[in-house]
Amino acid sequence: MATLNISMPDEMRAFIEARVRMGEYQSASDYLRDLIRHDREETERLLVEGIESGATRPLDLADLRKKAQSILKQEQAR
């Protein structure tokens, strides 16, 4: 198994250590592996969702700009 050294703020390290102390994970490495596993699953799910969503069409920037301006005007009117 490979080793990876990472730097993080003290608050993040304390959060990970708390999760380990609560018994949710055996170690910081176990916690990080679980996060990566979940992220990979979510990425794959989103890719499949995109593929299954159907054919793509070219982006009409002028239409997109009009929609964005309309939304902005509605938000400013509130």
DSSP one-letter string for 10-40 = HHHHHHHHHHHHTTS-SSHHHHHHHHHHHHH
Question: Using 50, 70 and 90 to split pLDDT, how confident is the model at 78?
Answer: confident
- pLDDT at residue 72, rounded to an integer: 94
Segment 60-70 mean pLDDT: 94
Backbone phi and psi for residue 34, each to the nearest 5 degrees, phi listed first? -65, -45
What single-letter amino acid sits at 62? A
Whole-model pTM: value is 0.66
CA-angle at 60, arms to 54 and 62, nearest 5° = 155
Which DSSP letter does residue 22 get? T
In single-letter form, the type of residue at position 2 comes to A
pLDDT digits (tens, 9 = 90+) for 16-48: 999 999 999 999 999 999 999 999 999 999 999
Q: What pLDDT score was predicted for residue 60?
A: 93
- Taking the C-alpha atoms of residue 5 and residue 28, their distance in angstroms, rounded to an integer, is 12
